[in-house]
Amino acid sequence: MQPDEIDEILLRTWDDRRLSRGEKKVLTALLGEHREERELLAYFRHRAFEIARRQLPDSRTAEVVDWLEEIFKALAHAEAGEEVPTLAEAHFSPGDRCRRRIVSLLGLTRRTADVCVFTITDDRIAHALLEAHARGVKVRIITDNEKVVDRGSDIEDLARAGLAVRTDCSEHHMHHKFALFDDAFLVTGSYNWTVSAASYNAENIIVSNDRRLIQAFGETFERLWQAFAPAATSAG
């Protein structure tokens, strides 16, 4: 099956917003013919979720579909007895894909979130950081000292809420844009965590679970975290 054929099949079943018994039989038989082609079936599943996303009224609801797709992926690999597959995703803006993927990963994080970004002004991402912190995730944020005081910056609100924040202490910019989630997933790219990046700018993120990249970015985060530690003050 070609990609346009897959879309045509899925869109036909979407017309009345339900999968009839007849349609289910036809679809089951069709997929059964390709049950050995795991990549094709994975693409078929992805397109089904993508078509559903396009019909949703807002990006907040689409985040639920993102979450559901991730759960389905995990279940599919578990049922097949497969190891965690190599993850290599690219998302682009303008549009909501970059922001939604970042929020989705924050929603799945259970232990640690190390965020090293130039600035944060997107309240949706800030809210996801606060939610992660509230459920016990250890969140650390490194950001540029000059951007903290910019209009719309969420950094001071995050710090007041108890998230660990450190800023660079140099005359130059801390211009990184990357984050590590549970030391298992890396997000990096040109994308600033801002409303403008989602709404107007041509930006990108890459999502990966490559252990070599995670180690390299993790070491960089730790080096910066130590370098930007507040200077100790001596008692008078």
Give the catalytic positions in this structure: 175, 177, 182
Amino acid letter for position 123: D
CA distances from residue 63 to 58, 85, 101, 175, 223 in whole angstroms, order as listed: 9, 22, 8, 28, 33
CB distance 129 to 109 below 8 Å: no
CB distance 171 to 61 below 8 Å: no
Torsion 179-185-190-194 (CA) sign? negative
Could you give the CA distance from residue 50 to residue 107 in angstroms, rounded to a whole number? 19
